[in-house]
Amino acid sequence: MKMPDEMPPLGPIDPGQLPLLKAPDSIWRSIEAALDAKRKPRTNLFAAWRWATAALVVIGAVSWYATRPELPSWQVSRLEGSAAVNKIKVGEWLQTDGNSRARITVGDIGVVDVEPNTRIRLVAASSTEHRLTLARGEISATVSAPPRLFLVDTPASTAVDLGCAYKIKTDEKGDGVLRVTSGWVSLEWKGRESLVPAGANCRTRSGTGPGTPYFEDAPQALQQALAAFDFGKGGEESLRTILSQARVRDTLSLWHVLSRVEPRDRVRVMERMVELVPLPAGVVREKALQLDPAALKSWREELAWKW
């Protein structure tokens, strides 16, 4: 190739001022070669690695899915109606309609019967905790297990199994009732605790939690006064009725009321309790009035012989 030996012109160049030269063939060949190279499919290593990586990801995902640990679950059987579920896993909900009843087998420790119009969720199913959430409706639980292993949360309480059989009912707000038929249950909510033995009931209310437990055969006036005392700001009138209506067996209710009245009223409650059942030898009156946990526990254990 030979280029003109002249100096380039100074200043603007007008069209036609530059000479036209034919490009050598070698240039066209090299351009075509370069264009061909671009047009060829790229069978390079990068593309191969992309496919290999994708394949590995897919294989990994399938393997994980196939061998992943199964979420704990409990068996569900239909008692009535159209409940078609046969298993409930941790995190899942079970809901019955107005005509359906179902039975959940709680691991190897018991059963929970789910009544119509009930919504319930399995929260935990481990060796240290079996836990359900009852959003609304009613269940009957029969459990043979160490205390505090089986728990049911409702919107206004947690029913802690202390070795028992019971029914618990609640609406979406948390208004409901617990009825214990065997053993006993601790009904807990934000530091408030009600111990409910067999034959006793305990109401729950939204915003308050568990009320005072009472025996099913307690006088109606006592039951109503307890409801007013717990949830209706019953005040002095309800307390007076509670104290006058309580029988020996109702020391169950009085024992709970003792720690829920104003300090100035504690002596009145205690005097009524002692009137019904003499203070046991091992319980110091002053300690009980100060709500000393050990004194209250000893007293409760002795009172339980009268329940």
Partner 1 sequence: MEMVKTTLLAVVLATASASGKDFSLTIGNPVAVALPDGVNPVVKKKDAGMAVRVENCADVASSHVTATAEGIVNGARRSVPLRLVAATTLGAYAVSRDWPWEGAWVVHLTGHCGASTASAVVPFGPNGFIREASKFFPRAATAAEVEAVLKTLSGGAQ
Report, in Å, the least distance between residue 194 CB and partner 1.
13
Report, in Å, the least distance between residue 49 CB and partner 1.
59
Report, in Å, the least distance between residue 282 CB and partner 1.
11
Question: Between 169 and 249, whose beta carbon lies closer to partner 1?
Answer: 249
249 is a contact residue toward partner 1 (CB under 8 A): yes
81 is a contact residue toward partner 1 (CB under 8 A): no
Segment near partner 1 (CB under 8 A), from 47-55, 158-166, 220-228, 280-288? 158-166
Report, in Å, the least distance between residue 161 CB and partner 1.
9
144 is a contact residue toward partner 1 (CB under 8 A): yes
Which of 81, 116, 197, 219 lies at the binding interface for partner 1 (CB under 8 A)? 197
Question: Between 228 and 304, whose beta carbon lies closer to partner 1?
Answer: 304
Report, in Å, the least distance between residue 252 CB and partner 1.
9
199 is a contact residue toward partner 1 (CB under 8 A): yes
Binding-residue pattern over the window 168 to 187 for partner 1, x denoting contact by CB under 8 A: -------------xxxx---
Which of 94, 165, 222, 243 lies at the binding interface for partner 1 (CB under 8 A)? 165
- 3-state SS, one letter per residue, for the chain: CCCCCCCCCCCCCCCCCCCCCCCCHHHHHHHHHHHHHHHCCCCCHHHHHHHHHHHHHHHHHHHHHHHCCCCCEEEEEEEECCCCCCEEECCCEEECCCCCEEEEEECCCEEEEECCCCEEEEEEECCCCEEEEEEEEEEEEEECCCCCCEEEEECCEEEEEEEEEEEEEECCCCCEEEEEEEEEEEEEECCEEEEEECCEEEEEECCCEECCCEECCCCHHHHHHHHHHHHCCCHHHHHHHHHHHCCHHHHHHHHHHHCCCCHHHHHHHHHHHHHHCCCCCCCCHHHHHCCCHHHHHHHHHHHHHHC
Question: Between 89 and 306, whose beta carbon lies closer to partner 1?
Answer: 306
Tell me which residues touch partner 1 (CB under 8 A): 143-147, 162-165, 181-184, 195, 197-199, 216, 249, 301-302, 304-307
